[in-house]
């Protein structure tokens, strides 16, 4: 009788382990997807060597950090600045969305470290940069938080909704940098 109890307990544990493994694989593959950060265009928010968890289910809002892939296969992580229908401009280190000044609180650490006389974000007008008056339907304007070195919408244009893979939500590695983003 004791032998049956041990065997039953063993198979119960195996079933739990298999079930937990399947659930973990589904979550890892379809809900929270790990993405490595390469480069320094998003520092100080994200730095080289960080790993973030990305999700695909929530809608994109201004200042979300997104993961997207260009048509050449290159994957980027940038911050959404402009939403469909917006015009974006910069004048004297000030962001303007639809001609209204908008504060970028997430840049404060970068600006505080900045002791150089050159602007953190070079001035531009949306029409001169993009050749259109406003972002089209399903188009987003993205910038890196480290504006001086970032390759972003200022160089490759707006991002199509179809190219967006998901939103970065959490730094999970290295462990001392774990936090929501």
Same domain, yes or no: 87 and 155: yes
Count of domains for the chain: 2
Same domain, yes or no: 145 and 171: yes
To the query of whether residue 41 is one of the catalytic residues in this protein, the response is yes
Number of H helices, E strands in the chain: 4, 11
Same domain, yes or no: 62 and 82: yes
Same domain, yes or no: 49 and 5: no
Same domain, yes or no: 88 and 11: no
To the query of whether residue 56 is one of the catalytic residues in this protein, the response is no
Marked catalytic residue, from 15, 43, 78, 160: 78
Q: How far apart are CA 94 and CA 123, in angstroms?
A: 9
Per the structure, the complete domain to which residue 57 belongs is given by: 35-180
Same domain, yes or no: 95 and 117: yes
Instruction: Give per-residue burial for 119-136: e unless 16+ CB within 10 Å, then b.
Output: ebbeeeebeebbeeebbe
User: What is the pLDDT tens value at each position of the chain, 181 positions in all?
Assistant: 566 788 888 888 888 888 887 776 666 666 577 888 998 899 889 999 999 999 988 899 999 999 999 988 889 999 999 999 999 999 988 999 999 999 988 876 665 555 566 677 888 998 888 888 999 999 999 999 998 889 999 999 999 999 999 999 999 999 999 999 8
Write the DSSP symbol of residue 124.
B
- Calculate the alpha carbon distances from 28 to 25, 40, 75, 120 in Å: 5, 26, 19, 37
Same domain, yes or no: 83 and 8: no
In this structure, what CATH number is given to the domain that contains residue 83?
Answer: 2.10.109.10
User: Which of 140, 161, 162 lies closest to 152 in space, CA to CA?
Assistant: 140
Same domain, yes or no: 23 and 43: no
Strands 159-160 and 94-97: unpaired
Marked catalytic residue, from 2, 21, 41, 151: 41
What is the CB neighbour count within 10 angstroms for residue 175?
Answer: 7
């Amino acid at each position: 009788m004791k032998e049956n109890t041990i065997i039953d307990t063993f198979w119960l544990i195996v079933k739990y382990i298999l079930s937990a493994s399947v659930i973990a694989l589904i979550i890892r593959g379809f809900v929270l997807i790990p993405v490595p950060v390469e480069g320094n265009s998003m520092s100080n928010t994200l730095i080289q060597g960080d790993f973030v968890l990305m999700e695909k289910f929530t809608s994109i809002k201004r200042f979300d950090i997104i993961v997207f892939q260009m048509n050449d296969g290159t994957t980027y992580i940038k911050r959404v600045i402009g939403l469909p229908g917006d015009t974006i401009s910069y004048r004297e280190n000030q962001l303007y969305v639809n001609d209204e000044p908008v504060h970028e609180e997430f840049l404060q650490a970068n600006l505080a470290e900045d002791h150089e006389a050159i602007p953190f974000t070079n001035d531009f007008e949306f029409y001169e940069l993009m050749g259109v008056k406003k972002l089209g339907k399903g188009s987003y304007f993205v910038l890196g938080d480290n504006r001086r070195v970032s390759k972003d919408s200022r160089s490759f244009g707006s991002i199509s909704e179809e190219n967006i893979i998901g939103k970065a939500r959490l730094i999970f590695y290295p462990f001392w940098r774990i936090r929501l983003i």
